[in-house]
Amino acid sequence: MFKIKIFKIKFSIANGGKGMKLREVKEILNAEVLVGEDRLDREVFLACGSDLMSDVLAFVKEKIVLLTGLVNPQVIRTAEMMDIKAIVFVRGKKVTQDVLELAESKKMVILATQHPLYIACGLLYSNGLTGKEEKAEEN
């Protein structure tokens, strides 16, 4: 019991106690929903913006949204290994059907925005998705 309580306190500090629904992410980024329209009530607590999948794999955090300009199937695979359930494709990249089908089979949410990576990350950060104090959770 005691252990669980401690974990909960840490968790809320780690997230600044503030999550963001994917519906809000969609609105803030003026994004189109490519996969998972019915799953937009999911909440994320942090975002990770990267075009390097190995860097993403080095970043283990719970309930994050991945923003990337890469649109190949390995992005979905990487997300799958990390238990990442939401991906935003930036810069208006065209996504192929096989990638979307793979994402659907993993019950993910895929959003697409015209914003470049830097702006998309900045918009989410300035709207409260800061992931503050995350270093306290490291290791």
Q: Does 80 bind other proteins (CB under 8 A)?
A: yes
Question: What residue type is assigned to position 128 of the chain?
Answer: G
Q: Does 82 bind other proteins (CB under 8 A)?
A: yes
CB of 60 to other proteins, least distance (A): 7
Residue with tokens 């980024």: 29
Q: Does 116 bind other proteins (CB under 8 A)?
A: no
> How far is Cα 83 from Cα 61, in angstroms, rounded to an integer?
9
Give the residue with the Cβ less far from other proteins, 15 or 78. 78
Q: Does 101 bind other proteins (CB under 8 A)?
A: no
Among 6, 10, 18, 73, binds other proteins (CB under 8 A): 73
Give the residue with the Cβ less far from other proteins, 15 or 68. 68
- Nearest CA to 79 out of 68, 94, 90 is that of 68
Q: Does 12 bind other proteins (CB under 8 A)?
A: no
Give the residue with the Cβ less far from other proteins, 68 or 113. 68
Q: Does 54 bind other proteins (CB under 8 A)?
A: yes
In terms of C-beta density within 10 A (0-12 exposed, 13-18 middle, 19 or more buried), how is residue 113 classed? Answer: buried
Q: How far is CA 7 from CA 44, 60, 95, 129, 137, in A?
A: 18, 16, 39, 21, 10
Give the residue with the Cβ less far from other proteins, 7 or 118. 7
Q: Which helix (H) or strand (E) holds 14?
A: helix 2-14
Instruction: Report whether 107 contacts 40 (CB < 8 A).
Output: no
Positions touching other proteins (CB under 8 A) are 51-55, 57-58, 60, 68, 70, 72-75, 77-78, 80-83, 98
